[in-house]
Amino acid sequence: MRPSAVRGSGSGRALALETSGGSTPSGDVAHPVFFRGFLTAPIAAAAGVLAVAEVAQARYVRQDAARSRDPVVTANGDRLRVESFSGCGGVYARLDVLAPGLDGDEIGHGTTNVDVNPPLQRALATLGGLDPLHLAIGPDELAVRTFDGRFVEKRVPLPERWLRGFAEAQVLGAGFELRAEVPAAEAAALLRTLPRPNPSAGARDTRWVLPVGGALRPVTRPVPGAIPLPGPERLHAVRHVLPHAVALRAYSPAAEESTAVAWEVELPHLRLTLMLSPEPGRGFSGEGGVLDDLATGSAEADADLISALLAWEPTIDVPELARQADLPPERVRAALTVLGTSGQVGYDLAEQAYFHRCLPFSAGAVETRNPRLRRARALIAEGLVRRDREIFQVGTPARAQLVRADGAGALSCTCPWWARYRGGRGPCAHVLATRMFQEVAK
């Protein structure tokens, strides 16, 4: 591999990226090129990488949780994406380096995960406006060279819980809508009011902000139009990019109660997105939003077909996929959820579209990563779902749970899981088994 280089001089210095090893649309290639050229905003890009890396090594709750420190890097043909989850699993971060931010040869395709440790972070943090930055990203290593030296981090294993987090984040994001957009000055004003992370106390409370005349005003309760801010300390990593920010956008479902929320910072030719789980103590990996789609009988078979049609697209066109696969759009979306469980699909809020990435995991291990789904299929296989008029009995006769449908067809259960979460963390195994039973009975 030819090393990357900083080209130009003075203010014209820029970040050149090269890579080797990995997968491409034409199959596995020994030395594919992700990108060879310049980053037009290298200092802002370095700040964005620092933010993603900070999230990867942060634990906002559960201080005993492992720190991952291994962001995932994807080249999508017209952009680069750097992603991570916090050690506690409750914050998802992604930096998108868009086409105008890349000046050089054709952008390649590939995905890798790399460890970004403290020495590398210190090198990025001390990068000045005239400092050169040498960066190489590939399936085998990430290397950064500055005046302070060269730092090389080899490829590291991807945590299993990140796969579940990737899947849940894309399912949640697909249900978000733009709730507010404010200029950078207002964003900075908001962030100055937020508490800093406290390792001993952790992130616990939820706040709300209300969009008012191009600003975000803190409010003490979920009034109509308010946007939740669960565990506001978890936005602290955004400070790295604020000097370069253009605007701040908030995305969430159109509801006032505490839900997951995403905050997107627009930078020159870049976007930094932080998605926060509904509660500081809840990681994305346990949300259960994927389970409804995974319970669909045809989803896994459809996923094989849809996977063959994906080609590292930066934006996946669901209607076009439906046309190519001769499937209804809802079945395509369910198949994308299955692919998301192995990290093959993400969701871009700014473009309201899925995108393709490739991670070294098989979609066939869906049940291993989703114990509720595994339990539901076992209940079906053992014949432990029975219908009694409008009520379903799920389990052995001595310990059966009752599953009922309301007027709109929504199912509820008498089990402790349902009593605790009321569907807020996805369906329980009994509801999943009932849906499978109903589907077979059609």
- Domain range summary for the chain, segments of one domain joined by +: 1-178+237-276, 289-369, 371-442
Average pLDDT over every residue of 235-243: 91
Confidence category of residue 19, pLDDT binned at 50, 70, 90 = very low
pLDDT of residue 271: 97
Candidate from 182-196, 295-309, 354-368 with smallest mean pLDDT:
354-368
Average pLDDT over every residue of 131-142: 59
C-beta separation of 345 from 309 below 8 A: no
User: Residues 300-348: pLDDT tens digits?
Assistant: 778 888 888 887 778 899 999 999 999 999 889 888 888 887 778 899 9
Q: Greater confidence, 89 or 163?
A: 89
d(CA 261, CA 248): 13
Tokens of 311: 């080609």
Selected from 1.10.10.10, 3.30.70.360, 3.40.50.2300, 1.10.390.10, the CATH number assigned to the domain covering 289-369 reads 1.10.10.10
Q: Greater confidence, 167 or 350?
A: 350
Answer whether residue 275 shows pLDDT above 70: yes
Radius of gyration of the chain (CA): 23
Confidence category of residue 192, pLDDT binned at 50, 70, 90 = confident
C-beta separation of 12 from 130 below 8 A: no
Asked whether this chain's domains 1-178+237-276 and 289-369 adopt the same fold, the reply is: no
C-beta separation of 359 from 368 below 8 A: no
Q: Greater confidence, 35 or 86?
A: 86
The three state secondary structure string of the chain is CCCCCCECCHHHCEEECCCCCEEECCEEECCCCCCCEEECCHHHHHHHHHHHHHHHCCCCCCCCCCCCCCCEEEEECCCEEEEEECCCCCEEEEEEECHHHEEECCCCEEEEEECCCHHHHHHHHCCCCCCCCEEEECCCEEEEEECCEEEEEEECCCCHHHHHHHHHHHHHHCCCEEEEEEEHHHHHHHHHCCCCCCCCCCCCCEEEEEEECCEEEEECCCCCCCEEEECHHHHHHHHHCHHHCCEEEEEECCCCCCCCEEEEEEECCEEEEEEECCCCCCCHHHCCCCHHHHCCCCHHHHHHHHHHHCCCCCCECHHHHHHHHCCCHHHHHHHHHHHHCCCCEEEECCCCEEEECCCCCCHHHHHHHCHHHHHHHHHHHCCCEEEECCEEEECCHHHCEEEEECCCCCEEECCHHHHHHCCECECCHHHHHHHHHHHHHC
Candidate from 61-65, 272-276, 384-388, 419-423 with smallest mean pLDDT:
61-65
Average pLDDT over every residue of 265-273: 95
d(CA 276, CA 169): 9
By percentage, how much of the chain surpasses pLDDT 90? 24
Candidate from 83-87, 129-133, 247-251, 418-422 with smallest mean pLDDT:
129-133
Confidence category of residue 248, pLDDT binned at 50, 70, 90 = very high
Average pLDDT over every residue of 292-302: 73
pTM of this structure: 0.80
**End-to-end CA separation in angstroms for the chain:** 57
Answer whether residue 267 shows pLDDT above 90: yes
| Identity of the amino acid at 380 | I
C-beta separation of 334 from 314 below 8 A: no
pLDDT of residue 77: 82
Q: How confident is the prediction for the chain on average, in pLDDT?
A: 78
Average pLDDT over every residue of 196-210: 71
Average pLDDT over every residue of 415-442: 83
User: Residues 378-420: pLDDT tens digits?
Assistant: 998 999 999 988 899 999 988 899 999 888 888 899 999 888 8
d(CA 356, CA 312): 5
Q: Greater confidence, 33 or 83?
A: 83
Fold of 1-178+237-276: DNA Polymerase III; Chain A, domain 2 (3.10.150)
Q: Which residues contact 162 (CB under 8 A, 6 or more apart)?
A: 68, 72, 85, 285, 343
pLDDT of residue 301: 79
Confidence category of residue 136, pLDDT binned at 50, 70, 90 = low
What are phi and psi for residue 138, nearest 5 degrees? -160, 170
Q: Among 91-95, 119-123, 340-344, name the most confident range.
A: 91-95
Q: Greater confidence, 55 or 290?
A: 55
By percentage, how much of the chain surpasses pLDDT 70? 73
Answer whether residue 245 shows pLDDT above 90: yes
Confidence category of residue 10, pLDDT binned at 50, 70, 90 = very low
For residue 269, give the nearest of 55, 103, 37, 436 by alpha carbon: 103
Candidate from 23-37, 48-62, 179-193, 259-273 with smallest mean pLDDT:
23-37
Confidence category of residue 124, pLDDT binned at 50, 70, 90 = confident
pLDDT of residue 355: 92
Q: Which residues contact 103 (CB under 8 A, 6 or more apart)?
A: 14, 37, 38, 39, 40
Q: Among 36-45, 108-117, 156-165, 279-288, name the most confident range.
A: 36-45
Average pLDDT over every residue of 168-182: 89
Q: Among 101-110, 124-133, 200-209, 321-330, name the most confident range.
A: 321-330
d(CA 52, CA 33): 23
C-beta separation of 37 from 105 below 8 A: yes
Long-range contacts of 23-29 (CB under 8 A, 24+ apart): 23/109, 23/110, 23/111, 23/139, 23/358, 24/108, 24/109, 24/110, 24/312, 25/109, 25/311, 25/312
